[in-house]
């Protein structure tokens, strides 16, 4: 599941929020946000803003392939 699909899932779970409403609450234009959704391309700052608006915690990490250690 890509980031865009996860965002859409959360938008529904968090009150059926539209893309335009999420964009406005993040301080972006709906047009710019829609382009990011189509490309499935978000910056870390975008992700943090979305998490805040959607009432979620953002967790980003690395897991090694050989030992599966999480950093």
The overall average pLDDT reported for the chain is 94
* Interatomic CA distance for residues 62 and 71, integer angstroms: 5
The whole model's pTM is what? 0.82
The arithmetic mean of pLDDT across residues 55-59, rounded, is: 94
**Is residue 9 in a domain?**
yes
End-to-end CA distance of the chain: 22
The predicted structure's pLDDT at residue 39: 96
**pLDDT band (50, 70, 90) for residue 1:** confident
Confirm whether 40 is domain-assigned: yes
Helix, strand counts (H, E) of the chain: 4, 0
The verdict on residue 28 lying in a domain is yes
Domain enclosing residue 46, as ranges: 3-53
pLDDT, tens digit, 9 for 90 and up, residues 24-47: 999 999 999 999 999 999 999 999
Phi, psi at 9, each rounded to 5°? -60, -45
pLDDT band at 68 (very low <50, low <70, confident <90, very high): confident
Do the domain assignments include residue 69? Answer: no
**What is the tally of structural domains in the chain?**
1
Instruction: Map residue 1 onto helix, strand or coil.
Output: coil
Q: Does the residue 64 lie in any domain? A: no
Q: What is the spatial distance between Cα 71 and Cα 53, in angstroms, rounded to a whole number?
A: 26
């Amino acid at each position: 599941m890509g980031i865009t699909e996860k965002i859409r899932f959360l938008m529904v779970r968090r009150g059926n929020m539209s893309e335009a409403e999420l964009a406005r609450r993040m301080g972006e234009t709906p047009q710019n946000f829609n382009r990011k959704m189509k490309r499935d391309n978000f910056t870390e700052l975008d992700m943090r803003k979305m998490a805040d608006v959607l009432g979620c915690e953002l967790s980003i990490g690395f897991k090694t392939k050989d030992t599966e250690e999480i950093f």
